[in-house]
Structure formats: structure tokens, C-alpha cells
Chains A and B, each alone.
Chain A
């Protein structure tokens, strides 16, 4: 069965620190990959996505993610976090055209000012 693993459940950083959140999936075929973010009190919104092409994807607010097919990974990165990045981050994978997104459990990021 398809699954998505997010290795870090809770991350605490100071402002200006670098961020990397891990995401691994289990599916051998073609995948579409997403990172969603949920800021406190707000709804889930798309951060970035990968469908094909350049495996290094740039998203909003300075985030980027790299698809490494051989490692079944799609890690999220940001070189310098801000207090406003405090949120819950979810990795999701869609394999095939069944529109069934498989979600990781999420990573709670707290950035201290």
C-alpha cells in the first residue's frame, strides 16, 4: 500500500536557522508530490508541488523541495526561517490519476523569534 512518512513530528528552530523536513513515500511508479502548509487558524494551502521536469521545485515564501526518485524522497527546505513560518507542514503523494492524495502525519514547526 502507498504510504508517506514524515520523519520529524515536531521541529523547533530559531529565526534565521535553516530548515529541512523529510518526506519519503512508498510507490514505485510515477508520482505527483505536494507540500501543504497550515498556518495557525488557517486552512491548508499549497506550498509547492512536483509533477515532472526539474526535480528541484521552488515554492512560495522561499521554500523549495527536491525530488530524489532513487531515494523516494521529497524533502522540504528553506535556508533561513522566520517566525511567520510557524505552522504545520504536510507532505502528500498522488500516484496515478485516482486523485487520492496520501498524506504524511505532518510536521509541526515552531520558530522562536
Chain B
């Protein structure tokens, strides 16, 4: 069974540009989560999508946005990139259902803003 896949693995952008990161969840999983792992800050929750809708959002400015497609894959868009946006962006997925379930993580996209 394929795990969570993210693309690209590395992305280099200049300040002010836009970045688009992609995530394919495990087959059958309907929830997708995005996290930012910046140096010294640990993992910070960004967004949770389920069944195509944004369900929860972390403390990030509106220039961080995303969407979930009908096949449950997801995109994270970061507009007006700033140097501080340089980080590893992790995507995770979990199955449908209430309660709290384990999240499975992808390898991440390393975004570097220069």
C-alpha cells in the first residue's frame, strides 16, 4: 500500500513568489493535514481538510491557503513568500471517522525562500 506522497521534495523560491505544494493521501483516507516544521519551532499545525472542506486552521496568516480535491489529494499554497517561510512542510492523512485517529506522514517538501 502506498503511503502519503508529497511533491516536490525540494522547492526553491524567491521572496514574494508563490509556492504550491502537493499531497496525495493514503488510499481510503479522507482527512489531510498540513504542518510546518521550521528550525527551532517544531511542528506547527497549518490546516486540516476533510471531505473537501477546510475543518480547522492553525495560527498562520491568510497567505497560507489550500484546498482538497474530490480524490482527497490536497494542495498547500503560500503566497507572497517570506524568508521565514523556509521550512519543511509535512502532509499527513488519516481515515474517515470521528474520534481521534493516527495520522500517517509523508516525507515532506523542503521549501527554501531566498
Contacts and interface: CB of A to CB of B under 8 A. Distances in A.
Interface in A68-113: 90, 92, 94, 97-106
B66 interface: no
Query: Dominant SS at the B interface?
Result: strand
The contact size tier of chain A is 20 to 34
Contacts of A104: 42
A92 B42 CA distance: 11
A44 B3 CA distance: 12
B102 A46 contact: yes
B103 interface: yes
Interface residues of B, number: 29
Contacts, number: 60
A88 B90 CA distance: 15
A50 to B, nearest CB: 10
Nearest to A99: B48
Contact of B105 (A44, A49, A100): A44
B107 A101 contact: no
B108 A105 contact: no
A89 to B, nearest CB: 12
17 contacts: A32-B100, A34-B102, A46-B102, A51-B100, A90-B43, A97-B99, A98-B55, A99-B48, A99-B56, A100-B45, A101-B33, A101-B43, A101-B45, A101-B103, A103-B43, A106-B42, A106-B43
Interface of A: 32, 34, 36, 42-46, 49, 51, 90, 92, 94, 97-106
